[in-house]
Amino acid sequence: MNTGVLEARTDAPFVAVRPTQSLTEWLSPLGQILGSWHQRAVQRHQLAMLDDHLLKDIGLDRRTVAAETAKPFWRA
């Protein structure tokens, strides 16, 4: 007979729901992104410190270097 009261099911075992990604699986790509941003910022700083003679050796001019070093670290 239906009394209108909800009853707990006792025939189904309790199943813990596991997140689809662990914390480390989620943080690993984030760490890679942050690492590449840092590396890009360092490389742009080092490029800005090169003198004209070294820039000529690698085929760059001051205008090209200025355009590259003006970019924010997150932009490739």
Of the candidates 42, 43, 48, 36, which has an alpha carbon nearest to the alpha carbon of residue 74?
Answer: 36
55-72: pLDDT as tens digits: 999 999 999 999 999 999
pTM: 0.66
17-69: pLDDT as tens digits: 666 778 888 889 999 999 999 999 999 999 999 999 999 999 999 999 999 99
pLDDT score, position 23: 82
Domain ranges of the chain: 28-69
